[in-house]
Amino acid sequence: MKKQKAENKKAQSEWVEGSVQDFLGLSAADMEFIETKLAISRLLKATRRQQKLTQQAAASKLHTSQSRLAKMEAGDASVSLDLLIKSLYSLGVSRKKLAAIF
C-alpha cells in the first residue's frame, strides 16, 4: 500500500503545466492564425443562426453539403480561410462586419 502511494505521488509530481502553444510548439503567428480562423467560423455560425437558417438550408445556399458546413462552423482544419470568407460573403456579411471581428 505504501509503495503504491509513493508511486502515485511520484507520477503526480511529473505533471507539467503549460499552454497549448507550448505543448504543440506553435509560434505566435500560428496561434494568431488559429484564433482568426476560429473567430471567422463562429461568425459563420452566428450569421446562419441570425438568418434563422438550418445547416441544411444554409448549405444549399452555399452550394455545399450540410456535413461540410458543420465542419466549417466547427473550425475544422480541413476548411480553408478562403472557403469560410466566401461563405460569409454569400450569406450577405459585409467586409466591414468581417473586419469588426478583429
Q: Which domains does the chain have, with CATH numbers?
A: 27-100 (1.10.260.40)
Amino acid at 66: Q
Please report which residue ranges of 1-102 form alpha helices under DSSP H. Answer: 2-13, 20-24, 28-50, 55-61, 66-74, 81-90, 95-100
Amino acid at 11: A
- Convert the pLDDT of each residue in 26-59 to its tens digit: 899 999 999 999 999 999 999 999 999 999 999 9
CA-based angle 36:40:42, to the nearest 5?
Answer: 115
Report whether pLDDT(87) > 90. Answer: yes
Amino acid at 55: Q
| Mean of pLDDT values over 52-76 | 97
CB 44 within 8 A of CB 97: no
Q: pTM for this structure?
A: 0.79
Alpha carbon of residue 64 to chain centroid: 19
Mean pLDDT of the chain: 90
Neighbour tally for 29: CB within 10 Å: 8
State residue 54's pLDDT score. 98
